[in-house]
C-alpha cells in the first residue's frame, strides 16, 4: 500500500528554536528530509506539520521547509503555525501564509489547554477566519479534550477540522471506553476528519506498537468511515527507522482487512489529497501508482 503521509515533521535546532526539545534529548538534533524512511515503494507524498518552533518564527519555518524541496521531492503540502487564539487579528498571519503556495492548513497546539481556551470567543473568531481562508485546521488534543473539541466543531461548522493522532488515546494502558465514547460523539460532526497517526508516542515502547494500536485504529475507522480517515506517521516523534515506518503501514493494512478498494484508497491517500488540496502532479502520481499496483 502506497500512502500519502499526512503528518511528518522535520527540524534543525541550528536553524530555528524549539524549546520543547530541551526535555526530549533523543529528539534534540536535526531531523531532515534525507533521514526520512520514505521510499518510492511506500510513500507517494508527504504533508509537513509545524514542529512547534518559537511562535514568531512560524513564517521562517514555512520558508525553510519550502526551501527543502530539492532534498524532499515528496513534499506536497504544509500545515503551518498560526495564532488562531488571537481572534480576528489572525487574518494578517493567514494573509502571509497564503502567499506561500504549499500552505494548506494551520495548527495551534491545543493539547493540555482547558475547555475555556478551546471555546474562548477569540479562538472561535480565529477559527472562522481560518475557514474563510480556505485552510484546514489541525487539532492536536488528548482524550480528555474530545468533548471540548466536539463543542468547538459545533461552533465552527464551516471549518475543516483534522483531528491529529486519533485524539491521543491511552494505548499503553489499554484503556478504551472513555476515548471511544468521546470519538463516537466527535464523529457525528461532519466537519471533522481524523489522522490515524501518532500511535508510537502513545504506546508502550517496550512492546511492538502494531498490536497495541490495532483496536484503536479499527475503532477510528468504524466510527469515522474510510472517507474521513487518513494516515500519518508522525515521524520522527512516533517512529524513526525504516522498520518502524513499514510496521506502521503494515498495521494500517491489517486494520483495513476486508475493506473495499475504494475504502483503502481513501485511507491511504484520497482523504489527505482532498482535505489538503494536494497538487495536480501529486494526484497524477497517485493515479499512476494505483495503475501499477493493479497491473
Structural domain range at position 19: 3-278
Residue 282, pLDDT > 70, answer no
Sign of CA dihedral 71, 73, 74, 78: positive
pLDDT in tens, 53-72: 999 999 999 999 999 988 99
Give the span between the Cα atoms of 286 and 45, in whole angstroms: 9
Is 291 inside any structural domain? no
pLDDT tens string 216-249: 999 999 999 999 999 999 999 999 999 999 999 9
Domain contains 260: yes
Burial class (CB in 10 A: 0-12, 13-18, 19+), 280: exposed
Higher pLDDT residue, 283 or 26? 26
In this predicted structure, which of 23-37, 203-217, 233-247, 270-284 has the lowest mean pLDDT? 270-284
Domain total in the chain: 1
Q: Is residue 294 part of a domain?
A: no
In percent, the amount of the chain with pLDDT more than 90 equals: 92
103 domain-assigned: yes
Please give the pLDDT value at position 69: 85
pLDDT at 170: 98
Bond preceding residue 123 cis, omega within 30 of 0: no
How many whole angstroms separate alpha carbon 268 and alpha carbon 256?
Answer: 10
158 within a domain of the structure (yes/no): yes
Would the pLDDT of 91 be above 90? yes
pLDDT for the residue 127: 98
Residues above pLDDT 70, as percent of the chain: 94
* pTM assigned to the model: 0.95
Phi-psi region at 247: left, alpha or beta (left = phi > 0; alpha = psi -120 to 50) = alpha
Angstrom distance (rounded) from CA 94 to CA 90: 6
Band (40; pLDDT cuts 50, 70, 90): confident
Order across the sheet with 161-163: list the strands.
3-8, 43-49, 75-81, 103-107, 136-139, 161-163, 192-196, 229-231
pLDDT confidence of residue 291: 55
Whether residue 118 lies inside any domain: the answer is yes
> Is pLDDT of 105 > 60?
yes
Q: 3-state class of 42 per DSSP? A: coil
| CATH number of 43's domain | 3.20.20.140
Residue 12 lies in a domain: yes
* Assigned domain for 284 exists: no
Amino acid at each position: 500500500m502506497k500512502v500519502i503521509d499526512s503528518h511528518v515533521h522535520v527540524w534543525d535546532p541550528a536553524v530555528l528554536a524549539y524549546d520543547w526539545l530541551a526535555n526530549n534529548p533523543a529528539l534534540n538534533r536535526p531531523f531532515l528530509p534525507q533521514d526520512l524512511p520514505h521510499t518510492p515503494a511506500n510513500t507517494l507524498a508527504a504533508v509537513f506539520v509545524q514542529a512547534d518552533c518559537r511562535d514568531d518564527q512560524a513564517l521562517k519555518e514555512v520558508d525553510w521547509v519550502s526551501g527543502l524541496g530539492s532534498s524532499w521531492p515528496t513534499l506536497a503540502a504544509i500545515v503551518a503555525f498560526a495564532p488562531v487564539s488571537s481572534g480576528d487579528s489572525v487574518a494578517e498571519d493567514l494573509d502571509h501564509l497564503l502567499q506561500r503556495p504549499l500552505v494548506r492548513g494551520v495548527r495551534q497546539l491545543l493539547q493540555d489547554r482547558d475547555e475555556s481556551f478551546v471555546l474562548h470567543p477569540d479562538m472561535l473568531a480565529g477559527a472562522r477566519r481560518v475557514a474563510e481562508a480556505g485552510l484546514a485546521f489541525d487539532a492536536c488534543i488528548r482524550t480528555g479534550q474530545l468533548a471540548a473539541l466536539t463543542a468547538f466543531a459545533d461552533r465552527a461548522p464551516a471549518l475543516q477540522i483534522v483531528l491529529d493522532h486519533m485524539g491521543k488515546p491511552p494505548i499503553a494502558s489499554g484503556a478504551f471506553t472513555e476515548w471511544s465514547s468521546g470519538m463516537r460523539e466527535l464523529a457525528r460532526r461532519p466537519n471533522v476528519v481524523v489522522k490515524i497517526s501518532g500511535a508510537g508516542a502513545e504506546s508502550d515502547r517496550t512492546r511492538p506498537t502494531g498490536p497495541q494500536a490495532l483496536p484503536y485504529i479499527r475503532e477510528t475507522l468504524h466510527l469515522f468511515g474510510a472517507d474521513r480517515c487518513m494516515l500519518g506517521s508522525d515521524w520522527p516523534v512516533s517512529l524513526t527507522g525504516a522498520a518502524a515506518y513499514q510496521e506502521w503501514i503494515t498495521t494500517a493494512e491489517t486494520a483495513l482487512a476486508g475493506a473495499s478498494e475504494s475504502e483503502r484508497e481513501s485511507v491511504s491517500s484520497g482523504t489527505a489529497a482532498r482535505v489538503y488540496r494536494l497538487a495536480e502532479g501529486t494526484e497524477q502520481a497517485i493515479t499512476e501508482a494505483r495503475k501499477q499496483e493493479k497491473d
